[in-house]
A and B are shown apart, each in its own frame.
Chain A
Amino acid sequence: AQSVSQHNHHVILSEAASLELGCNYSYGGTVNLFWYVQYPGQHLQLLLKYFSGDPLVKGIKGFEAEFIKSKFSFNLRKPSVQWSDTAEYFCAVREGTALIFGKGTTLSVSS
């Protein structure tokens, strides 16, 4: 069965700093990968997803992620974070119709 590792439990950044959150999944083959975000008091929402094609995926709110098959990785990036990016971020891989999530990374951005 698939598993997902998110390397950082809590990341603290200042506004305008660059962000990279790590995500690794356990085994290869064809994978469908996702990043979800949960802002304080809100529900989980999709940031971006990868199915095939260009390994650099653009999402909402200036986020992007790069799929590197050889490293089993799907890291999330944003060049310049804002205070409003404070949230919990979840990486997930599809297995059958289920999503397999990592433990999540809490991002705190100070203004």
Chain B
Amino acid sequence: EAGVTQFPSHSVIEKGQTVTLRCDPISGHDNLYWYRRVMGKEIKFLLHFVKESKQDESGMPNNRFLAERTGGTYSTLKVQPAELEDSGVYFCASSRTSGFTDTQYFGPGTRLTVL
């Protein structure tokens, strides 16, 4: 089965611009997660979807970040307007269920650079 895919792999934008990242989970996985790793820091949880509903968005840094999951399939994460501190690698993960024994499968990440 195909893994989690993310697009683009890299994005370089200027401060103040808008960027939209996309994640396609593994087929049949109702749960989708976004994480971010700022350089030199740990990977941090941003939010969790169950199908199209936001289950937990406690990790979203501020209202410049908007995540959507249309129809419970792919998800987008929009940053508007981007700031320098938003630079980092954005990971998406998916799991079939949100049960504690279920594995989260990660995508390759999108490296975002804000200049």
Contact = CB atoms under 8 A, between A and B. Distances in A.
B53 interface: no
B45 A98 contact: yes
Given A43-B108, A43-B109, A98-B48, A49 B43 contact: no
Interface string B89-113: 0010100001011011111110000
Interface residues of A, number: 22
A42, A98, A103: most-surrounded residue (chain B CB, <10 A)? A98
B4 interface: yes
B100 A32 contact: yes
Given A36-B106, A42-B108, A43-B106, A99 B45 contact: yes
A98 B59 contact: yes
A94 interface: yes
B55 A44 contact: no
B59 A4 contact: no
Contact of B103 (A46, A90, A96, A98): A46
B56 A97 contact: yes
A90 B101 CA distance: 18
A51 interface: yes
A44 B108 CA distance: 7
A99 B56 CA distance: 12
Contacts of B43: 90, 92, 99, 101, 104
B41 to A, nearest CB: 7
B9 to A, nearest CB: 11
Nearest to A5: B42
Contacts of B48: 97-98
Contacts of A90: 43
Interface string A21-32: 000000000001
22 contacts: A4-B42, A36-B106, A42-B108, A43-B4, A43-B106, A43-B108, A45-B106, A46-B103, A49-B103, A51-B100, A51-B101, A92-B43, A94-B100, A96-B56, A98-B33, A98-B56, A98-B58, A99-B33, A99-B43, A99-B104, A101-B42, A103-B41
